[in-house]
Chains A and B, each alone.
Chain A
Amino acid sequence: MAQPPETRREQITDALPSFGIADPDSNIAWYMLIFPKIALMAAVLILPFLGSVYISLHEWAPLATSHPFVGLENYARLLSDSVFHSALINTATYSLALILIDVPIALGLAILLDMNLRGTRIYSASIFLPVVTSWVVVSLIWTWLYNPDYGMINAFLNVFGIAGLDWLNSRDTSLAAIIIMSIWKHVGFNMVIFLAGLKGIPDSYYEAATVDGAGRWERFRYVTLPLLKPTSFFVIVVTLIFSFRLFTQVFVMTGGGPVNSSISIVYYFWQQGFQEFNMGYASAIAVVLFVIVFAFSIIQQRSWGGDVDY
């Protein structure tokens, strides 16, 4: 690749100011175009975020008359807070599981559906249906499915003589149960993106590869996978960001338990901020979460549009 992505992106930005402006060198229009977004961002994101940073440096109870400045004490406390560690580890585990399980399954399903077999439409609709269903509803339904006494999952396992698990009530399985349910709920979303990516690969590449002597696996390995790289990257980063928002399932299904075995960063944040009213501490959690997600976003932005273009 002779031309680095830097150069190319500059060309794109270069074209921006010329939209409907008499003097293409003028910067005013560019700022005019960008201003509403900046203003909106500032109002709904940046200012509250700066507020969070400010609060995180204080001991902050909502009704207290004074909020003593504590410096980085809240952050220091996070370092030794075992519950926060659990939340961090659980969220990362959840995230990793989604990347390693959800994404490949989504790709596999997308490839199956891309083969235009009979009933494709019904399958894709049924796989996508959970995506558009409310997380709360799905979480409740799965809570029943996981019920050790009358849940369908244990009933199903019993058919094969497998002893059922106490899914949500056991420390060993609660996070796994949430992961399984979340993959079921979320896989359709990634599948649709993959499917769009697959549809975007012209048939002629496959035909060229076929004539070149590539078999089914080789076509997948040398044509599909590389051409899906931008799609895969998008899917992975979006899944990563999405996974760090883990809250609703935990809230509805386990309340973070048993013994914090399924507690997530956002859930702990909520618990600290809105149950126990340690706003300063909760803000510190929020800031850490923001930094993590922001880092992922930057990685995504940096790598966007690079590498493969066709």
Chain B
Amino acid sequence: MGELRIQNLTKVFNDDTGQIVAVDDFSLNTEDGEFVVFVGPSGCGKSTTLRCIAGLETVTEGRIFLDNEDITTQPPTGRDIAMVFQNYALYPHMTAGENMAFGLKMSTNMPRAEIEQQVNETATMMGIEELLDKRPGELSGGQQQRVALGRAIVREPEVFLMDEPLSNLDAKLRTQMRTELQNLQHELDITTIYVTHDQTEAMTMGDRIVILDGGELQQVGTPLKCYHEPANQFVAGFIGSPSMNFFSMSYENSVLQHDAFRYELSQSVRQNLGTLTGDVVLGIRPEAIERADNGGERTVVAPVSVVEPMGDVTHVYFDVDDETYTMSQEGDLVTEVGSQMELRFPEEKIHLFDATTGDAIKTGSVSTRVETTQPTDGSDTGRP
């Protein structure tokens, strides 16, 4: 079983200039067989968290449990964990087969023949049996990637840790491997912690995604939940491409006021906001912005600065009060640069964030639209 439980994990690095808090009070429970993606910008602490789980870094505070066993102070060798590294870290002096066998040789008392058999089985499953006698230097990036995965898989660990395993591949191969990796994980049903800075990977691969920033946990949830109901402005901006548009507004007398436009809120939303007044941030995703033809409420008129046709969609950049914002429209609509555009921000799709804390005040009303094929999770608040 691979139930990984992290309690209040804190990692502080000491260096000449002082202390750097890499991970700050991080907690997470995973279920057996779950695919969890850690995502965040570089330096957010996701890799450090992963290395703490692997035992490559000591934990400053907090505890890590694997199947209810406290492994916090156990050496890496004592944890039933396999890891795939960003640069694969295949031993260059060993053949692919020896690379895969190394972990079994080191961590088990398995006889040589059995190791060999297990390596062969895994290699067959991975489709790399003809590579077993080659050295890493003779393999392509994709092949190395497979061997690196094979090396982790062959040990049948409780938990897989993957540190940006696809980032050294070219774009096309990456997409392909993404799918393969997902299938493999489903097949093996081994708990997987996957670290990436690429929100697309996070969205497409994870059962749940864990978003980190500055060492702090921002949100844990299914990809769609994080997309539609971001817990704060950071998550809202980080998840989704192109990024969510943010407008600085002030909320007074039931009206959101921007320097360039005003936005009236409906009765029901106003009720939800209660007695709130002052600065807020209005967020709306590019794909939620609609074209309006004849004015009306909740519209903005703005000049088009750049048009990026992507084929299926077109990204249109427009300026409001010297700031550039984005909207996505269907690919067959033509928009001229320089033309004036009338845009509507549908109220059910806008997000409101506290301007100081960044916490979400109102999220898009989408819960009704989420198709519940995903397993429901119980920890969507992010903070225990």
Contacts and interface: CB of A to CB of B under 8 A. Distances in A.
A310 B93 CA distance: 8
Interface residues of B, number: 30
A2 B77 contact: no
A129 interface: no
A211 B81 contact: yes
A210 interface: yes
Interface residues of A, number: 25
A114 interface: no
Contacts of B134: 2
B107 A308 contact: no
A246 interface: no
B92 A213 contact: no
A207 interface: yes
A300 to B, nearest CB: 20
A1 B135 contact: yes
Interface in A193-219: 202, 204-205, 207-215, 218
A211 B83 contact: yes
A3 interface: yes
A307 B56 CA distance: 30
Interface stretch (A36-44, A149-157, A223-231): A223-231
B133 A2 contact: yes
A207 B107 contact: no
B137 interface: yes
Interface in A238-283: none
Task: Pick the most buried of A205, A215, A229, A308: most chain B CB atoms within 10 A of its CB.
Answer: A205
Contact of A207 (B85, B103, B133, B137): B85
A213 B137 contact: no
Interface string B243-271: 00000000000000000000000000000
A218 B76 CA distance: 14
B158 to A, nearest CB: 13
A93 B118 CA distance: 49
A2 B138 contact: yes
Contacts of B91: 205, 208-209, 222-223, 226-227
B106 A218 contact: yes
Contacts of B54: 207, 211
Contacts of B133: 2
Given A205-B91, A227-B92, A310 B137 contact: yes
B89 interface: yes
A215 B78 CA distance: 10
B102 A211 contact: no
A229 B161 CA distance: 30
Interface in A1-58: 1-3
Contacts of B136: 310
25 contacts: A1-B138, A2-B133, A3-B138, A202-B87, A202-B89, A204-B85, A205-B89, A205-B91, A207-B54, A208-B85, A210-B55, A210-B77, A211-B56, A211-B82, A211-B103, A212-B106, A212-B151, A213-B106, A213-B107, A214-B106, A215-B77, A218-B106, A222-B102, A223-B91, A309-B92
Interface of B: 54-56, 76-77, 81-83, 85-87, 89-94, 102-103, 106-107, 133-138, 151, 155, 161
Interface of A: 1-3, 202, 204-205, 207-215, 218, 222-223, 226-227, 229, 307-310
